[in-house]
Chains A and B, each alone.
Chain A
Amino acid sequence: MLAQTLMLRLAEEGGELGDHVVEEAANPILPTVPELFWGAIAFATLFALVKFVLLPPVQKTMQDRANLVRSDLDAADAARSQAGSAASDVSDQLADVRAEATQIIDAARAEAEADRARIIGAAEDEIAAARSEAEAEIAGAREAAMAGVGPSVAGLAADAASRVMNRTVDVSAAQPVVDRFLNSSN
């Protein structure tokens, strides 16, 4: 009753003061109905768009890319494995070729060695024959020379002995001595 009387009196005294008493200021922290209304509409719209329109194509693209990357990686692995196998084949072939080359070189070396021995042997035989022939020629020539020189040396020796001994020395008697001397000097 007292409050009613007070409010009526305040209302009579001035509208502004009366308004302040009757109206209550809104709390700035509490949510307002319009903001809740628009916020709910906005969130529901965004959720529907994301779920049904926006996200699926993006996820599909990302999934396709992941699949592509995975398949590329698998292909790269397969190619790497294939390249490894090819490299291994090449390595095996190289080893075979090297072994074959070694065999060829060894055979050639053995053949060359045999040829060398044969040629050297033939050359040595030829040299030996030539040497024998030369020695025979030398021996013949020496004998011929000795045969030609013997009488002269005997004459000279007999003449020299005659002069030393003041008597005549017969050449025929000196001939055997000279021959023996010449033969012993060979």
Chain B
Amino acid sequence: MFAALEFPSIENLVEWPAFFGDGTFYAFNKIALISMLAVIIPTALFLLAKKEMVPRGVQNIVEGTVEFVEKQVVLSAIGPEGLKYTPLILTIFLFVFFGNIFEVIPTFQMPANARMANPLILAVVAWVSFVTIGIKSQGFAGFMKSSLFPPGVPKALYILVTPIEFLSTFLLRPFGLAVRLFANMLAGHILLVTFGVLCITLATASPLAAILPFSYAMLVGLTGFEVMVSLIQAFVFSLLTAVYIQLSLHAH
């Protein structure tokens, strides 16, 4: 009875053939296309938004997004001095969100961030940003001292604490950012595929067709859930980047 249920291998779920340039460093596949659309769509939205005193339509969406990032991410995590980093944080937010949301868009149904490349790039950007900002605002020695030698710790314990702080600040922060985004989106993608495959299989297996509505309801519910996850992951990634920048701005 369950012979019809053949779950695809993980390679089939996340690896896509190239549209062109196969075998080269510029091979352009679905993930690359989604990455490009994550540039084109926000650009189009910003360009379509009119600049009127009473906002309507697209202008509401664009200004709402900018205001959300400014108030809920930049100002809440860094404060007024962080407003100069709004372009960076907004870019991260938009790139993550539009990279994620293709998970629920028919014909695509694949989040770009379920592949490790984009989360890794974003994590490197965040890492470079908070290290550069930290060195710029505190100086190299000051930044290293505040990052590796937390105040209030007995000097003897620095032998133990400093390596931990080094790992935590310079390796685990970017690694955590990348893996959190990648793992969440991959897990969501696998969940949707699982229920999709289950629905198809149940539709062809007549004795079990009775539970098809439940499986279908789960698929619909999880699709809505993944829309929320896409937004939350964009918010979390941009917020953590802002928090790391704030921690680099001043000695603690």
Question: Residues on A close to B: CB < 8 A?
Answer: 25-26, 28-43, 45-47, 49-51, 54-55, 57-62, 64-65, 68
Contact = CB atoms under 8 A, between A and B. Distances in A.
B24 A34 contact: yes
Contact of B53 (A32, A55, A68): A68
A55 B25 contact: no
Contact of A45 (B39, B115, B125): B39
A165 to B, nearest CB: 135
List of 10 A-B pairs having minimum Cβ-Cβ separation, nearest first: A35-B117, A38-B32, A31-B117, A54-B46, A34-B27, A42-B35, A51-B87, A31-B116, A61-B51, A47-B91
Contacts of A61: 51-53, 63
B144 interface: no
A28 B90 CA distance: 29
A32 B117 contact: yes
B231 interface: no
Contacts of B86: 55, 59
A43 B66 contact: no
B49 to A, nearest CB: 7
Interface residues of B, number: 46
A67 B87 CA distance: 22
A33 B121 CA distance: 12
B28 A36 contact: no
Given A47-B88, A49-B39, A61-B51, 15 more contacts: A28-B10, A29-B116, A32-B27, A32-B115, A34-B25, A34-B28, A34-B29, A35-B35, A38-B28, A39-B32, A42-B35, A46-B38, A55-B90, A61-B52, A65-B53
A30 B15 CA distance: 11
27 contacts: A26-B15, A28-B14, A31-B120, A32-B117, A34-B18, A36-B117, A36-B121, A37-B25, A38-B28, A38-B36, A39-B35, A39-B112, A41-B35, A42-B35, A42-B36, A43-B121, A43-B125, A46-B95, A47-B87, A47-B91, A50-B94, A51-B88, A51-B91, A55-B86, A58-B49, A61-B53, A61-B63
Nearest to A32: B117
A58 B115 contact: no
A84 to B, nearest CB: 29
B95 A35 contact: no
B31 interface: yes
A39 B18 CA distance: 15
A52 to B, nearest CB: 8
Nearest to A64: B53
Interface in B24-81: 24-29, 31-32, 35-36, 38-39, 42-43, 46-47, 49, 51-53, 62-63, 66-67
Contacts of A40: 121
A35 B120 CA distance: 11
A46 B95 CA distance: 8
B118 interface: yes
B11 interface: yes
Contacts of B120: 31, 36
Contacts of A45: 39
A58 B36 contact: no
B21 interface: yes
Contacts of B42: 46, 50, 54
Contacts of B101: none
